[in-house]
C-alpha cells in the first residue's frame, strides 16, 4: 500500500448551526469548529523502513524521525501502520507453522501501551513540541493489536485506538479493536486530528462515523507499499489502490490527510504523494523505496473552499434520510495488564476511566446509553 500524505479539508456544519462541546481526555472538543484559521503550518508524512523485530531499535528510530521532522518545522507528524516493530510479512509468504518462530519474536518486540518505551516516545514528542500519530503493534499481555496513539505536544496520549478489523492474514496475529476505537478524532492546537489504519479507509460505516467527528486533518497509516500493480494479486492490495483509498477519504471528509508508509528495503514502496482538499496532487512524489519525510505547508481555511462545493456533514448531507447507529458499550474486548508498580497501575486505571467516560458519552444517545447516532 502506498505512502502518501493526503492533504484535505474537513469540517461540517448542519442547519441549524449549533455548537456542541464535550471533553476528550481533558481536551475540549468543539463539534462545529471554524475553518477560518489562516495560520500556515507544516505537516509531515513518514516513509521509512522499520527496525524489524527490534523494539528498542524501533523506538530509537521513531524518536530520531520525530526530532528530524520537528527540526524541519513540522507541527504534525504521521507514521505508518505498525511502524513499531514493522509489518509482519511472514504469514503472507509462509504457512503459520513456518512463521511461528518469527511471530514469537514479533510478539516479544511489540510495544505495550503503558511501558518505559512508550514513555520515551511521549517525552520525545513533548521535547520536540509536535503532535504525533504513531502506528504500532500493541502488546496487551499475550495478545497483539494494530494500534495508533495520538500524542499531543504536551506529551500526553490524547487518543489510543485499535484497528477495528484486521485484514485477511492479519487476523491470525491481531485481535479486533473495541468500541472505544471508533472515537478517533481529538482536538489539538493545530486543529482536529484524526487517525485511520489501512483498510479502515474502505469501511463505509466507520468512515461515516469518522466524518461526523469533524476531522480537519487525519493520519492514514499504511503497511508497506508495493510497486505498480502487474497482476498476480487483486488490484485492491496494490499501492495505487491504497493511494486512491486515502485520496477518497480526504475528498469525502474534506480533510487534510497525512499518509505514511513503510519501506521494505530496495524497491519496497510506491511513491508517496500529497493531495489537496479537492484531491489534486500538491507536491512531486518521492522516489520508490526511499526513506524520507515528505512535507507540506497547509492552512485550515482552505477547507472552506471545498465545503462551499460539498460538505458531507452539512450542505451535501441528508441526515433526514440516513441514520447511523453506533453501539458504544458492552463490546470491550481488551483490558490492560496488571502492573506491579503502583504508579503504572494508577495510570492504567486513569486511562480506562477516561476511555469509559468517552465511550459512554457518544455524540447522541439512541434508545438509552448503549447506542449512539452519527
Active site residues: 81
In the chain the first and final C-alpha atoms are separated, in Å, by 29
Say if residues 217 and 256 touch (Cβ distance below 8 Å).
yes
Of the candidates 170, 273, 257, 262, the residue with the CA atom closest to the CA atom of residue 225: 262
Q: In angstroms, rounded to a whole number, what is the distance separating the alpha carbons of residues 138 and 359?
A: 20
DSSP-based three-state secondary structure for 253: helix
Of the candidates 234, 230, 188, 231, the residue with the CA atom closest to the CA atom of residue 78: 188
H or E segment and range at residue 205:
helix 204-212
H or E segment and range at residue 78:
strand 74-78
Q: Tell me how far CA of residue 259 lies from CA of 7, 44, 293, 301, 374, in angstroms.
A: 9, 9, 11, 21, 25
Kindly report the number of other CB atoms within 10 A of residue 135's CB atom: 29
Spell out a b/e string for 141-157, using b for 16 or more CB atoms within 10 Å of the CB, else e. Answer: eeebbbbbbbbbbebbb
Sign of CA dihedral 91, 147, 55, 81: positive
Q: In angstroms, rounded to a whole number, what is the distance separating the alpha carbons of residues 305 and 277?
A: 8
Q: Is 149 left (phi over 0), alpha (psi -120 to 50) or beta?
A: beta
H or E segment and range at residue 56:
helix 55-71
Say if residues 134 and 62 touch (Cβ distance below 8 Å).
yes
Beta strand pairing status for 217-221 and 256-262? parallel
C-alpha cell at 257: 490527510
Chain centroid to Cα 331, Å, comes to 21
C-alpha cell at 93: 509468504
Beta strand pairing status for 256-262 and 40-48? parallel
Amino acid at each position: 500500500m502506498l505512502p502518501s500524505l493526503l492533504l484535505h479539508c474537513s469540517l461540517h456544519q448542519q442547519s441549524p448551526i449549533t455548537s456542541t462541546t464535550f471533553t476528550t481526555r481533558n481536551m475540549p472538543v468543539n463539534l462545529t469548529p471554524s475553518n477560518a484559521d489562516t495560520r500556515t503550518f507544516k505537516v509531515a508524512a513518514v516513509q521509512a523502513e522499520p527496525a524489524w523485530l527490534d523494539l528498542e531499535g524501533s523506538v530509537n528510530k521513531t524518536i530520531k524521525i520525530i526530532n528530524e521532522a520537528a527540526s524541519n518545522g513540522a507541527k504534525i507528524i504521521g507514521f505508518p501502520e505498525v511502524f513499531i516493530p514493522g509489518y509482519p510479512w511472514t504469514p503472507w509468504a509462509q504457512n503459520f507453522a513456518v512463521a511461528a518462530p518469527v511471530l514469537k519474536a514479533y510478539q516479544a518486540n511489540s510495544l505495550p501501551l503503558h511501558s518505559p518505551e512508550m514513555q520515551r516516545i511521549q517525552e520525545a514528542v513533548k521535547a520536540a513540541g509536535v503532535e504525533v500519530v504513531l502506528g504500532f503493534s500493541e502488546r496487551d499481555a499475550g495478545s497483539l493489536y494494530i494500534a495508533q496513539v495520538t500524542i499531543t505536544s504536551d506529551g500526553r496520549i490524547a487518543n489510543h485506538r485499535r484497528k477495528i478489523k484486521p485484514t485477511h492474514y492479519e487476523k491470525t496475529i491481531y485481535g479486533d479493536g473495541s468500541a472505544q476505537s471508533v472515537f478517533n478524532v481529538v482536538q489539538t492546537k493545530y486543529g482536529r486530528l484524526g487517525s485511520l489504519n489501512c483498510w479502515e479507509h474502505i469501511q463505509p460505516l466507520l468512515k461515516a462515523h469518522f466524518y461526523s467527528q469533524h476531522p480537519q486533518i487525519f493520519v492514514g497509516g499504511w503497511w508497506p507499499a508495493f510497486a505498480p500493480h502487474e497482476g498476480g494479486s487483486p488490484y485492491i492490495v496494490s499501492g495505487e489502490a491504497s493511494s486512491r483509498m486515502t485520496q477518497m477519504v480526504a475528498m469525502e471528509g474534506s480533510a487534510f490527510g497525512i499518509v505514511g508508509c513503510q519501506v521494505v528495503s530496495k524497491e519496497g514502496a510506491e511513491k508517496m504523494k500529497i493531495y489537496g482538499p479537492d484531491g489534486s496532487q500538491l507536491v512531486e512524489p518521492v522516489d520508490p523505496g526511499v526513506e524520507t519525510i515528505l512535507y507540506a505547508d497547509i492552512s485550515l481555511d482552505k477547507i472552506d473552499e471545498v465545503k462551499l462545493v460539498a460538505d458531507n456533514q452539512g450542505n451535501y448531507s441528508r441526515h433526514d434520510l440516513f441514520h447511523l447507529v453506533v453501539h458504544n458499550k458492552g463490546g470491550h474486548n481488551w483490558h490492560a495488564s496488571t502492573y506491579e508498580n503502583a504508579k503504572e497501575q494508577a495510570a492504567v486505571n486513569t486511562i480506562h476511566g477516561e476511555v469509559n467516560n468517552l465511550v459512554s458519552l457518544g455524540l447522541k444517545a439512541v434508545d438509552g446509553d448503549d447506542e449512539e447516532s452519527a
